[in-house]
Amino acid sequence: MFENRWNRTLLQERFVKNIKHHFKQEGEAWLERLPEISHQCEQTWQVEMMKPYELSINYVAPAVGKDGRKLVVKLSVPGEEFTCELEALRQLESPAMVRLIAFDENLGALLLERMEPGGTLAEVEEEDKACRIAADVFEQLTREPLGETTLPTTEDRTASLAKIVSYYPAGCGPISRSTLLEAQQTFNRLHRTRKKQWLLHGDFHHYNILQDGEEKWKAIDPKGLIGEREYDLIQFLLNKLPEEDPVSVIDKRIQIFSEFLKLDKQRFVLWGFCHSVLATCWTVEGNGNYNRPFYRAIAAFQQIHQKYYHHEVHEAEIR
């Protein structure tokens, strides 16, 4: 039975490909050890793991406790990403965050409460409703940083873009050098005029917000990030965009979030511009492929900025 299960799960080709691509030899060794790691988790936590969910870069499977409790086991290649997720889960503990039941740092394993029915916010078709649900979850989730933390900050995102600029001096994929530099300047300007810093989710979007019961929604999969709240919502703005007229959908989402969460709309739009440049760069592959919705969002943020703040923006004006 043990063997059958592993033959079946390892057929998720995209997952195997992602792990090998991202973690190289370390990833291959981890894939080899996955059956053994799962077995150890089952023994230690007295749970039985079932067929996994659709996987991307972590092994996530529903599990049942001896007492019938519905749980989830999430296994990651041990390292910084895992450590940050663990720290974020602990620091962002709230009714709007999936509850961490147990963990094993050496194994890279988390035991989580299971969301039921567990559908993602991407299944909610009404744009306004999805935004209001997300805003409600986000409001409960984000908080002031709790003392010392090793979580990354939005300054690290600026550093990531700086690296890209020096690696691709002529431009990255479809993004020209002048757009890269403009995004870099915008990042720097926003940091020079920085506002209140928050403890953020770090990967807040439709697919990381799950339904728990009839009415409730909770976030999963935090990466952990320190920065302004506006920044953390950009990844949500970039997801689930229509082919036709993404500008008005982004604009509408900005209105709803700004009103509901009392955000600084201009900074929101500017963070949107520089983050969508960075997010697109992250997706550029050697064969020229890149994430087109993220790329199209760059122009969308430029247009929205033009619409509301059509005069030239001087640093002094970004309060």
Ligand X SMILES: Nc1ncnc2c1ncn2[C@@H]1O[C@H](COP(=O)(O)OP(=O)(O)O)[C@@H](O)[C@H]1O
Question: Contact region for ligand X (CB under 6 A) — 5-13, 56-64, 149-157, 253-261?
Answer: 56-64
The SS3 call for residue 146 is coil
Binding partner of 186, given ligand X, Mg ion, none, CB within 5-8 angstroms per partner class: none
179 to 198, contacts with ligand X by CB under 6 A?
none
Among 44, 46, 56, 306, binds ligand X (CB under 6 A): 56
Residue 157 interacts with, from ligand X, Mg ion, none (CB under 5-8 Å by kind): none
Q: Would you give the binding string for Mg ion spanning residues 200-219, x where CB under 5 A is met? A: --------x-----------
Nearer to ligand X, 50 or 299 (CB): 50
Burial-class residue 167 by CB neighbours within 10 Å (0-12, 13-18, 19+).
Answer: exposed
Sole window of 57-65, 135-143, 239-247, 262-270 interacting with ligand X (rule: CB under 6 A) = 57-65
Which one of 5, 20, 40, 53 is in contact with ligand X (CB under 6 A)?
A: 53
Query: Shortest Cβ distance from residue 79 to Mg ion (Å)?
Result: 17
Specify the 3-state DSSP secondary structure of 2.
Answer: helix
Which of 57/102 has CB closer to Mg ion?
57
Distance of CA 141 to the CA centre of its chain: 14
Burial of 74 (0-12, 13-18, 19+ CB in 10 A): buried
Among 9, 58, 211, 258, binds ligand X (CB under 6 A): 58
Task: Give buried/exposed letters for 91-109 (b at 16+ CB in 10 A, else e).
Answer: bbeeebbbebbebbeebbb
User: CB of 220: closest distance to ligand X in angstroms?
Assistant: 5
- Smallest gap from Cβ 87 to Mg ion, in A, equals 17
Contact 84/141 with Cβ under 8 angstroms? no
In angstroms, the CA 68 to CA 48 distance is 10
Query: If you ran DSSP here, which 8-state letter would residue 8 be given?
Result: H
Task: Please write down the HEC assignment for all residues of 103-144.
Answer: EECCCCEEEEECCCEEEEHHHCCCHHHHHHHHHHHHHHHCEC
Which positions touch ligand X (CB under 6 A)? 53, 56-58, 60, 72, 74, 98, 112, 114-115, 118, 207-208, 210, 220-221
**Chain contacts with Mg ion (rule: CB under 5 A):** 208, 221
